Amino acid sequence: MTALLAIVGLASSGGTAGADEAPPPAGSRPISELTPTATIHLGKTADWVAITADAVWVGGTGPNAVHRIDPVTNKRVATVELAGEPCAGLAVGFGSVWIPLCGQPPTLAKVDLTRNAVTAVFPTGPAGPEGGIAAGGDSVWLIVDAQGSLARIDPDTGAVRQTIRVAAGSYNPLFSAGRIWVTRAAGAELTSIDAASGNVLGTTGTGPGPRFLTAGAGSVWTLNQGDGSMTRIDVRSRRALGTIPLSTPGHGGDISFGGGMVWTSMPRVPLSAVSAASFKLQCQWAGPGGDALGIGHDAIWLTDYHAGTISRLELPAVVNQCRSRPRG
């Protein structure tokens, strides 16, 4: 997720929380106090967000598609329908949006950034839903099975150049600082891989069930579904710098970096903000909506999975509001 990107928001899974309403975390505020600049309806569901220099891309169902939003007008300018459900993230690189599709068999769609059209569908697909995809170095990176096979995919031909073995139950890769970082949702660890050679560099312990991850402020940050916590890992040393509670366990969710904060979203806790400077939970907003988010164009782009919408929140305004009324 590097080429042609200004800032990339990593994607989320579909909202899968149970029907019973959980009480909001202590110290949270109502999400209704944040007023969107715009809310755009996309379809039955809205999920997975990736941000480029001139667009916001959002996946969803009803129809199975990826939607392009112009951040200048805050309007949808294209809908690219897909042959299957976009189920495992979005990545941008090599002039294209890359979209893993669940189906029989699973596949990988390539959408041209300028033509807004599918230019190829490759037979290498995701291991399952709630996975992820990365683009960086010279390749596209995708976990293709539950045994931890990380496929290094040629962006021109779709051929698998290399298969790298990581721990079984690893699903979500991130490209940052010349490395591929892969969380192990079935365990409590993060694997780092040299993106040039494909050599595994080592593993780092995290909170339980790490799934989605982002990078910023010299660190990789994991959202741990097992207990609803966040772990910070130093990029240079690959050492864990600590884990803090967010009180947002469960399936789904997302994480992204911007404005000196690490932002997470979960169903019914649409937005949480952790200071990169202090590594403390600064603000948290509870209520309807949430699940996927991206940071770019001076905004937080936040989905409401079940409503099928994405909303634009002005990043400086939210940061200022958080700092003026910190949690606790």
% of the chain surpassing 90 pLDDT? 90
For the domain made up of 36-243, give the CATH fold.
Answer: Methylamine Dehydrogenase; Chain H (2.130.10)
Name the token pair of 162: 């290399």
* Cβ neighbours of 263 (radius 10 Å): 26
Q: What is the pLDDT of residue 10?
A: 40
pLDDT of residue 22: 64
- Secondary structure of residue 275 in the 3-state scheme: strand
Q: Give 241-283 pLDDT, tens digit per residue.
A: 999 999 999 999 999 999 999 999 999 999 999 999 999 999 9
Mean pLDDT of 94-107: 96
Domain chopping of the chain, boundaries:
36-243
What tokens were used for 51?
């941000």
Note the pLDDT tens digit of each residue in 199-212: 999 999 999 999 99
Q: Which residue carries 């699973």 as its tokens?
A: 106
Half-sphere exposure of 4 (CA within 13 A, CB side): 17
- 12, pLDDT greater than 50: no
Give dist(CA 201, CA 192) in Å, integer: 5
> Is there a contact between 152 and 198 (Cβ–Cβ < 8 Å)?
yes
**Given CA atoms 122, 124, 129, 132 in this order, what sign does their dihedral have?**
negative
Check the CA dihedral 87-305-291-319 and report its sign. Answer: positive
Q: How far is CA 328 from the centre of its chain?
A: 28
Amino acid type, 209: G
Q: Which residue has the tokens 């884990």?
A: 243
pLDDT tier for residue 27 given thresholds of 50, 70 and 90: confident
Backbone angles phi, psi at 322, to 5 degrees: -65, -45
Q: What is the DSSP letter of 36?
A: P
Distance CA 223, CA 36 (A): 25
Closest among 269, 272, 271, 190 to 234, alpha carbons compared: 190
